[in-house]
Amino acid sequence: MSTEAELLTIEQLASRTGLTVRNIRSHVTRGLLPAPHLKGRTGYYGPEHIARLQLITGLQQQGFNLASIHKLVGGPSAPSADETVAFYRAALGPWLTESPELWDEGDLAAQFGIAPDPALVETLSGLGMLERTDDGRIRVLNPALIRVGRQLAALGYSIGDLLGVLAPLMEHSAAVAAAFVQMFLDVQWADYVVAGMPPERLPELQTLIEQLQPLAAQAVVAAFQQSMTEAIRPAFERAATDLLAGDAGPGSDGAGREEGHTATA
C-alpha cells in the first residue's frame, strides 16, 4: 500500500504521466489500471499506478493495441499483475527504441532540405515512422532511423531514394523480428505455459530474453553483410558490362577498329 505522501489525485497523475484524465479513467474501466485507493469519495493513485501507466504507454509505442495490452497485464492466466508488469518491462527493455521525439513539421522537413509535404508525412506514417499529433506537430517514433536518413540525404540521396530503401527495410525487419519472437514462443514460452506459468521461472525467462537480444542483432548484421556481398558483386559486374557495351557502340573508336580489321581480312 502506498503512503499518503506518495498518493496523487487523478489530475496530478495525469500531469505526472502526460495522459489525460479521460485516458486514465478509461484504463481503469478496461481493467488495465488498478482502481484508485479511496479516501472518502476521492480516489488516489500511487507509484504502482504510475509504473503501470508507463508500461501501457511503452507498449502502445511498440504497436500493441489496448486489447493486447489487457491480455498482457490483466489476463487471468498471469501469475499476478505486478509480476506480469515486471516481466514485460524486462522483456521489452532490451528491444525498446529511443523515446519518440516531437517536431514542428517545418523544422523536420528542413532537416532534409525539403519543404513540408503532407503526402510524405502520410507515407512515413504508414511505414510506422511518424504520426501527427492533435496539435499538428509530428511525433517521430524511431529517431535513430530519422538520423540515418538525414545523414544519407547529406550524401546526396533524394527522399525518393530513401523511401525506396526504407519500405523494404521495414518490411523485412518486421519479418525477421516475427521469426525470432515466434521461435521464443514455440520453445521457452510454450514450456513455461505447460509448466503452469510458475512465477519463480520469470527471472529465468528475463535472463534468456536479455541474452537473445544481442544474438539476434548479431545474426541480423551477419546475414545483412552476406547479402550485401552477394548483391554488390553482380551489381558491379552488370555496371561494368553496360560500360563496356557503351564503349563498343556505333561510332566509337572500338567499333571503327573492329570494322577496319574486318575489311582488311
The class (CATH top level) of 4-95 is mainly alpha
Which of 219, 234, 230, 120 has the alpha carbon at shortest distance from 173? 219
Bridge pairing between strands 130-132 and 138-140: antiparallel
Counting Cα atoms < 13 Å in the Cβ hemisphere of 252 gives 11
Q: Is the pLDDT of residue 80 over 70?
A: no
The number of beta carbons lying within 10 Å of the beta carbon of residue 4 is 9
- Counting residues of the chain whose pLDDT is more than 90, the rounded percentage is 38
Q: Grid coordinates representing 76?
A: 487471468
pLDDT at residue 84, as a whole number: 62
Q: Grid coordinates representing 150?
A: 538525414
Give the chain's mean pLDDT: 82
Q: What is the pLDDT of residues 2-40, one digit of tens each?
A: 555 579 999 999 998 888 999 999 999 988 898 999 988
Which of 90, 88, 73 has the alpha carbon at shortest distance from 34? 73
What distance in Å separates the CA atoms of residue 29 and residue 35, rounded to the nearest whole number?
A: 8
pLDDT at residue 259, as a whole number: 42
Q: What is the mean pLDDT of residues 49-70?
A: 79
Maximum distance among all Cα pairs of the chain, rounded to whole angstroms: 112
Q: What is the pLDDT of residues 173-201, one digit of tens each?
A: 989 988 998 998 899 888 987 888 787 88
Residues of the chain with CATH 1.10.1660.10: 4-95
Q: Where does the pLDDT of residue 74 fall: very low under 50, low under 70, confident under 90, or very high at 90 and above?
A: low
The number of beta carbons lying within 10 Å of the beta carbon of residue 245 is 9
pLDDT at residue 252, as a whole number: 46
What distance in Å separates the CA atoms of residue 57 and residue 85, rounded to the nearest whole number?
A: 12
